[in-house]
Amino acid sequence: MEALLEGIQNRGHSGRNHLGMSCDWSVGACRGFLTSCEAELQELMKQIDIMVAHKKSEWEGQTHALETCLDIRDRELKALRSQLDMKH
């Protein structure tokens, strides 16, 4: 995300767009536009980071719950195999 913002900032300084073509506006006009967009981009990146962190936390919780269930099933399976071995 930060690289995206840095790329946008660098294009503004060079007066070129994403295709490498010269800006039709003066560099100052490009810079003013980028400055207004930068704040919005930074806010969006923060919101995305928060959402990703929240999802990661959810997935880690689900993974832990599944691992716990798997451990329980594994122990049950071992106990049943042990009982089966004793009968034969």
Cβ atoms within 10 Å of 57's Cβ, excluding its own:
10
Whole-model pTM: value is 0.51
pLDDT in tens, 10-66: 655 445 555 555 555 455 556 666 677 898 999 999 999 999 999 999 999 999 999
Report yes or no: 5 and 43 within 8 Å, Cβ to Cβ.
no
Domain limits, the chain: 2-87
